[in-house]
Amino acid sequence: MNTVISAMSLDYPPHKLAVYISDDGGSLITLNAVREAWRFSRLWVPFCRKYGLNLRCPEAYFATQEKFEFDADRKILQERYREFQEALEKNSMNESKSVSRDHPPTIEVMTDDENKDSGLREMPLLVYVAREKRSGHPHHFKGGALNVLLRVSAVISNAPYFLVLDCDMYCHDPSSARQAMCYYLDPKHSPHIAWVQFPQKFRNMSEHDIYGGRLNNFLRAAYGVDGLRGTNLMGCNFFMKREAIYGTKNIQRGATLDQLKKLFGSSNEFIRAFMDKERYRPKMPEDRKPSDALQDELQLLASSSYDVGTQWGKVVGYRYFSVVEDAITSLELHCDGWISVYTNPANPCFLGASTNNLNDTLVQQTRWAFGLMQMGLSRFTPLIYGPLRMSILQSMWYGALVLDSLSTIPFYVLSIIPPICLLYCIPLYPQVSDPFFYAFAFAFVSSQVKHVQEVFSFGDHSFMNALYELRVWMMKLGTCYFYALINSILNKLGLHEANFNLTNKVVDDENVMLYERGIYDFRTLPMLLVPLCSIYILNLACFIIGVTRIYGKGDELLAQAALSFFGLVVNYHLLDGMFLRKDNGRISPYVFQLALVTSGVIFGCVSVFLLH
C-alpha cells in the first residue's frame, strides 16, 4: 500500500491526479487494504503538502532518524501509520488469503464514510479495480490488466497522461510527474513523444550485487538507444501519453461509430471520451459515488469478454502477442513513428525492491527471456518487422533484445566441446607459437577489459561487481535463456502454453542475511540448477584430468585449458555450493547427484560424436 500512498502524494494538482490499483486476484484482503490506505492518506497527503516533504512514501519516511521542526505532528502521523499497519495485519488474518481466478468485475471509488465531501477536492481519486476473470476467456496477463485500467480510467478521469508502477515500487521523488511534463510540454518534441521512461532502481541493494539486481548492463545500453527513437518500455516507471497507446495513428479520419466500435468495443461512453477528449467531462459526482449508469459502464469495460471482436491488444492498448507486453507494445509504437525519452535524474524518482535470492532471479529472468524469444519467433521479429518501419540501428537494438536467448547455443558449445577435447588432447585453437593465437587471446582479453571498463564508467568502482555481473550473465545463459529458447519453440509448435509466473514480493529474513553477506542462496527448483551444475562438473573433471595429460602439448592445448579454467574460477560459487558449504542455502545432494548423472550423459554423447 506504500506504492498507492506515495502515488497519491505526488507533487501535482490533486484534481488532476487519480490513482488506480489493479487487483487481478479479486481479493477482499486487497480491497480492504485499499480502503485503509485511503483513510490514512486523508491525513498523510495534507501532511506532505503542508511541510513540503521530499520523501512521501510513509515506510521510507518513518524509517529515517532525522530531526524535524514539526516533530510533534510527525509523531502523531507515525502513530496513525502504526495503526494503519496493524489494521492491515488484522485484515489479513481475518480474511481468506485465497486468490480467485473466476470472479466478476469489481470497481470501487474510495470516498469518506460520512455523508459529506469536506476536503475531497484536495485529495486525488483512488480507485480499486478487479477485472472480471472467467475460465473460458483468456486474460492476457499484465497487458490485459493494464488495458482494463485504460478503459476504466477513461470514463472516470480521462487524464491525457498516466504513470505505470509495479506493486513493489514507490514514488521516491514527488516531482517525477513535473519532470516528465517538461518533456511533454517541449513544443519541438512533444507531439512525437509517446512515453518518458525512468530507470528501475532499488532500495534494498547490497554492496554485493550477486544477483545482478541493479540491471546495470541493460541500463547502460539505454543511454545509447536514447539517441535513436528512444528506449523500449521497461515494464514500469514510465509516463505514457494516452493518445499514443490508443493507436490513434491507425484510425482513419471521419471513422463511423460502427468502425470505432470494432476498434474500441461497445462502450459509447468510452468512445465519447476518446473522440471528444478536449471537452469530455467524466461523469463522476463530487461525492465520488458513481451513479448506477456509470457503475454499469464500468462493469462493462472491466468484463472479461469486452476485448472479443475488437482491436484491443492488436492495434489498441497494450499488445497481447507476448507475456512481455512492454517490449511488443514499444516496438509497435516506435514503428508507428512515436519516440520515447529515457531520463535518469540524480535523485531516483522511483525505488523498488530487487530480488534477493537465486530462485526469484532465475524465475524472473526466464519469464522475461521466454516472452522476448516468443516475440522473436513471431511475425514481429524486429530484424524483419522493423527495418521497413524504423531505422536499421533501432531494429538491431530490438533484435538484440528479443533474440538474446539464442546466445545460449554458443554458450553450451563453448562449455562442452573445448573441455572434452582437452581431455582427449584434441586441439581446437591455434598453437601459442602461431600468430593467430594472439588474435584469439586479444579478442577474449579485450572483451573482459571492456566489460570492467563499462562497469567502472557507470559509477560502480568494484572489480567484484564486474565479476558478479559476468557470473549472473553465465547463469542466465545456462538456465534462463536455455529454457526460454526451448519453451518458445514448443510454444510456436503448440506444445507449450505461455504462463506468467510472479516473483515473490515477501521479504525473507534468511534470504536477506545471505544476500547482504554476498552468499548465494541455492534453494531453487532442481531444473534451474542442474544445467549449471552439470556444466561445472564436466569442466572441472575434464580440466583436472586433461591438465595431467597435456604435458608436452601445452603449446597446442593452452587456450582450451585457459578457457575451462576461466569458467571454473568465475563460477567458483557453484563449487562452493556443491562441495564446501553446509548451510541451508547450499546446493542439495539431490541436485548434485542429478547433475553428476547429467554431466556423465553429456560426456558420453559428445565423446561418441568426437571419436566416431
Q: How far apart are CA 474 and CA 581, in angstroms?
A: 21
Residues of 505-536 as b/e, b for ≥16 C-beta within 10 angstroms? eeeeeebeebbeeebbbbbbeeebbbbbbbbb
Which residues participate in the annotated binding site?
24, 142, 166
Is residue 446 predicted with pLDDT exceeding 90? yes
DSSP structure class, residue 441: H
DSSP structure class, residue 238: E
SS3 of 271, please? Answer: helix
Give residue 226's Cα distance to chain centre. Answer: 19
Q: Average pLDDT, stretch 385-405?
A: 92
Q: Average pLDDT, stretch 265-280?
A: 85
Q: Sort 217 into a burial class: Cβ within 10 Å, 0-12 / 13-18 / 19+.
A: middle
Q: Which amino acid is at 243?
A: E
Catalytic site includes residue 168: no
- CA pseudo-torsion sign 25, 26, 27, 32: positive
Which residues participate in the annotated binding site for Mn(2+)?
142, 166
- Comparing 510 with 202, the larger pLDDT belongs to 202
Is residue 393 predicted with pLDDT exceeding 70? yes
DSSP 347-385: S-SEEE----SHHHHHHHHHHHHHHHHHHHTSTT-HHHH
DSSP structure class, residue 483: H
DSSP 298-349: HHHHTSTTTTTTS-BTTTBSS--SSS-HHHHHHHHHHHTT-EEEE---SS-S
Q: What is the pLDDT of residue 177?
A: 95
48-83 residue pLDDT tens: 999 898 999 999 888 887 777 788 888 899 999 999
Q: Average pLDDT, stretch 20-46?
A: 92
Return the closest-CA partner of residue 397 out of 387, 412, 407, 411: 387
Is residue 498 predicted with pLDDT exceeding 70? no
Q: Average pLDDT, stretch 410-438?
A: 91
Strands 350-352 and 201-202 turn out to be parallel
Q: What are phi and psi of 160, to 5 degrees?
A: -70, -15
Q: What is the pLDDT of residue 115?
A: 52
**Per-residue confidence band for 555, with pLDDT thresholds at 50, 70 and 90:** confident
Is residue 213 predicted with pLDDT exceeding 80? yes
Return the closest-CA partner of residue 138 out of 313, 377, 270, 20: 313
Is residue 327 predicted with pLDDT exceeding 90? yes
Q: What is the pLDDT of residue 224?
A: 85
Q: Calculate what percentage of the chain has a pLDDT beyond 70.
A: 94
Under 8 Å CB-to-CB from 382, ≥6 apart: which residues?
331, 376, 395, 396, 397, 398, 399, 401, 402
**Per-residue confidence band for 567, with pLDDT thresholds at 50, 70 and 90:** very high
Which of 173-187, 192-206, 414-428, 498-512 has the least mean pLDDT? 498-512
Q: What is the pLDDT of residue 550?
A: 76
Is residue 371 predicted with pLDDT exceeding 80? yes
116-162 residue pLDDT tens: 556 777 899 999 999 999 888 888 999 999 999 999 999 999 999 99
Q: What is the pLDDT of residue 212?
A: 87
Is residue 340 predicted with pLDDT exceeding 70? yes
Q: What is the pLDDT of residue 117?
A: 55
Q: Are 302 and 151 in contact (CB under 8 A)?
A: yes
Given the residues 23, 326, 360, 404, the one annotated as active site: 326
Q: What are phi and psi of 310, to 5 degrees?
A: -115, -175
Q: How far apart are CA 521 and CA 507, in angstroms?
A: 14
Q: How far apart are CA 117 and CA 124, in angstroms?
A: 13
Q: What is the pLDDT of residue 120?
A: 77
Catalytic site includes residue 24: yes
Q: Average pLDDT, stretch 523-545?
A: 95
Given the residues 24, 173, 307, 404, the one annotated as active site: 24
Is residue 504 predicted with pLDDT exceeding 60? no
Q: What is the pLDDT of residue 69?
A: 76
DSSP 127-161: EEEE--B-TTS---HHHHHHHHHHHHHHHHT--SE
Q: What is the mean pLDDT of the chain?
A: 89
341-359 residue pLDDT tens: 999 999 999 999 888 889 9
Give residue 410's Cα distance to chain centre. Answer: 26
Q: How far apart are CA 169 and CA 468, in angstroms?
A: 24
452-491 residue pLDDT tens: 998 888 877 788 989 999 999 999 999 999 999 999 999 8
In Å, what is the CA distance from 452 to each residue of 197, 213, 415, 461? 26, 17, 22, 9
In Å, what is the CA distance from 177 to each residue of 1, 452, 507? 20, 35, 29
Which residues participate in the annotated binding site for UDP-alpha-D-glucose?
24
